[in-house]
Chain A
């Protein structure tokens, strides 16, 4: 699977960004084409966090004499919104000091100090509420929720406070500096409470953004965009890929645009949409379908809300068929929203019902995980059924 992902990464590099970019955005979001260091998802995220914390103007003065562990952040990439910064960035969560359960935050406390990178007590609601307050003072607060399964005590703070702060105060206040990071998704042995994909709950909340990367290279750029975006963002990291996914990740500071889906494999018979770790499974299914003469167009949504309807619509207008796949249970999953929106827009063009190959409507099982998961074969079968409808 690692080699498939490497191919995925380089394919993305060749294709570049979607053509929806304007010229000004192009310069801001140029994915560095050349080289990079072979990194897994953990270390890509670690690099992104280093750069995010280093971009604090006050801290830059202190560190300018020290030889950097990583290249200096490219301040020209930061939009002028943040030019008058005397704000700071903080990273906090359970166990982040020593590096975190997945080692995504190693080295940060040592380099940036315990006042900026610190452990919190075990209280998700308190962590997110506290993060909203920090962000309300203009800082960049990066809150880590140890597993996405634990995010629910913080649900009220995210839905009722974070997403509405700017709206209800008529833009006097906001908590745009808040970014919540959480590892999500199946890992093979996670069971009920270490494997959930709760993205659908948050996609129902206008005011926050939900971003899910598919690979190390994407993760670094997307995370930096999320941290610097002036809206509160929930960033779900596919924990399965933390060690498994290895890719050439550019060492410098770069950002990827939010709310832009990417066509990572072009095709003409069916549009296949997904995000996160599921894309690697879908890539395999597409390769299998290719052997049977079906040409699949694979799209990575990247940002789930606000999602790039135009790209998916354009693709479905080309192919006439749509299949969506995600790990979360099928009923009420985000696939339902995509399906409804695309049917609204492309009803007459569709040649077959929109297929959703998703997790089953059960709590995430432990021993039955292989039955629950939307596997390559399930997707392949559905692709064939949809094409032969």
Chain B
């Protein structure tokens, strides 16, 4: 929303979530660019010997970017603890995967890097896969995880999501493979929770989300002077405000 209290202080856009404490190095508008970055993070982790791994996530569309293969090569060459996760929702915005990729088996694209295909709609499978991948990455180097998942809505505001696929397909997946429904059915069939308890949790979560949205809406826009902050940091040498070091003469709205 571009508000001051947001996770990027209102400076980033809708893809730019960041959380330093959680080690979340953010979303990237240029898809694929984050993969070599992830390898850099993994290298630093390996050098510091801190037993951490890096998850570099990309989609089936970005899987055709050249930098993925450059990064795979480097990660494999240097045995980096990098886990490359391809979130395959079968559509690169409006292009179905069979129209974009000769080989839709994204987990096999590593060639010399092992890959695992995971049912991305099963939360427990994803958890196990990540656990396995972490152990593997720390011992043997990079691994690819392909998460078979789905996207209900359109890719972005300008994409209704229905011009390249049927509504039946969308509702079919929602009925058969929805991850939350699956967990709900599992919990109820194993009698780990009653329907009422689950409904309460849902109400609670909805309340939390609504409160967060309300809080976000109330948050003010960042001050216009923030337009110019964090372009450069005061470093060595003369102060840098950007290319024009005098005060900007235009009046900001």
Contacts and interface: CB of A to CB of B under 8 A. Distances in A.
Interface of A: 20, 25, 28-29, 79, 88, 115, 118, 120-121, 123, 125-139, 141, 156-157, 160-161, 166-174, 176, 206-207, 209, 225, 228-231, 255-260, 303, 305-310, 337, 341
A229 B235 contact: yes
A88 B46 CA distance: 12
A120 to B, nearest CB: 7
Contacts of A259: 237-240
B9 A133 contact: no
Contacts of B237: 25, 29, 225, 229, 256-260, 303
Given A173-B18, A231-B240, A303-B237, A133 B43 contact: yes
A136 B40 contact: yes
Query: Interface size for chain B: under 10, 10 to 19, 20 to 34, or 35 or more residues?
Result: 35 or more
Please classify the interface of chain B as helix (H, G, I), strand (E, B), loop, or mixed, using the class held by over half of its residues.
loop
17 contacts: A125-B36, A130-B39, A130-B43, A130-B74, A132-B37, A133-B40, A135-B40, A136-B40, A166-B230, A170-B9, A229-B235, A229-B236, A231-B232, A257-B238, A258-B240, A260-B238, A310-B245
B73 A206 contact: no
B231 A157 contact: no
B73 A123 contact: yes
Nearest to B82: A133
B154 interface: no
A209 B44 CA distance: 24
A121 B10 CA distance: 38
A133 B33 contact: no
Contact of B8 (A156, A161, A169, A228): A169
Contacts of B19: 172
B230 A171 contact: yes
Contacts of A129: 33, 35-37, 39-40, 67, 70-71
A88 B238 contact: no
A137 B233 contact: no
A306 B235 CA distance: 12
B11 interface: yes
B150 interface: no
Interface in B41-58: 41-45, 47
Contact of A167 (B29, B42, B231, B239): B231
Contacts of B230: 166-167, 170-171
Contact of B36 (A133, A167, A303, A308): A133
B26 A169 contact: yes
Contacts of A207: 231-232
A154 to B, nearest CB: 10
Contact of A133 (B37, B70, B235): B37
A88 B47 contact: yes
A303 B236 CA distance: 12
Nearest to B17: A169
B233 A166 contact: yes
A126 B71 CA distance: 6
B244 interface: yes
A256 B18 CA distance: 34
A28 B33 CA distance: 37
A30 B41 CA distance: 35
Given A137-B44, A170-B12, A126 B36 contact: yes
B243 A306 contact: yes
Contacts of A120: 74
B182 to A, nearest CB: 34
Contacts of A88: 47
Interface in B1-17: 6-13, 16
A130 B232 contact: no
B30 A156 contact: yes
A209 B37 contact: no
Contact of A123 (B30, B74, B231, B246): B74
B241 A121 contact: no
Given A79-B236, A231-B233, A160 B40 contact: no
Give the 5 A-B residue pairs with the shortest CB-CB distance, closest first.
A133-B40, A129-B36, A170-B9, A126-B70, A258-B237
A228 B234 CA distance: 12
B236 A28 contact: yes
A134 B25 CA distance: 12
Contacts of B61: none
Nearest to B68: A126
Contact of B11 (A28, A123, A133, A167): A167
B44 A134 contact: yes
Contact of A174 (B16, B39, B233, B243): B233
Contacts of A310: 245
A136 B231 contact: no
Contacts of A168: 8, 11-13, 16, 26
Interface string B56-85: 000000000011001101100110000000
Given A123-B73, A255-B236, A160 B39 contact: no
B232 A170 contact: no
B40 A115 contact: no
B196 interface: no
A219 B217 CA distance: 51
Interface string B89-108: 00000000000000000000
B67 A125 contact: yes
A134 B7 contact: no
Nearest to B21: A172
Contacts of B66: 125
Given A136-B25, A137-B40, A168-B16, A121 B70 contact: yes
A256 B235 CA distance: 12
B70 A176 contact: no
A156 B36 CA distance: 12
B238 A130 contact: no
